[in-house]
């Protein structure tokens, strides 16, 4: 996601069946109107293509230009499926392991209620 001016970028992770109210989310993030990032922005910041967006892409964000938010409901997850930079496979791990992976990348994991 990106803000209306394209200055802030966000990766929001939640359960795939969850409905997210973008207007409410934009207020929560203090970001103005949100829209989906273009393929060019996904490539620039995360090294990913549309359809393959994943928290693992944050390992490519060397400048820490993407803010990461995860739904609080996933914080107790013992097993969640995440694409490993491609949507042709899925890796299963716990929230705790994802948090540890991102901590090692110096990525702040911010839990929010979606």
The class that CATH gives domain 2-112 is alpha beta
CA 6 – CA 18 distance, rounded (Å): 25
∠25-15-62 over CA atoms, to 5°? 70
The answer to whether the Cα torsion of 57, 2, 93, 50 is positive or negative is negative
Convert the pLDDT of each residue in 24-77 to its tens digit: 999 999 998 999 999 999 999 999 999 999 999 999 999 999 999 999 999 988
Residue owning tokens 């944050």? 58
Beta carbons within 10 angstroms of residue 26's beta carbon: 18
The pLDDT value given to residue 77: 87
């Amino acid at each position: 996601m990106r803000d209306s001016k394209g200055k802030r970028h966000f990766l929001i992770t939640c359960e795939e069946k969850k409905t997210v109210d973008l207007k409410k989310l934009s207020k929560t993030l203090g970001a103005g109107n949100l829209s989906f990032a273009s393929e060019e922005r996904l490539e620039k910041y995360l090294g990913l293509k549309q359809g393959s967006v994943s928290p693992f892409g944050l390992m490519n964000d060397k400048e820490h230009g993407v803010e990461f938010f995860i739904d609080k409901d996933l914080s107790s997850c013992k097993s969640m499926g995440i694409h490993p930079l491609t949507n042709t496979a899925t890796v299963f791990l716990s929230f705790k392991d994802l948090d540890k992976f991102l901590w090692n990348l110096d990525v702040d994991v911010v839990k929010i209620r979606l």
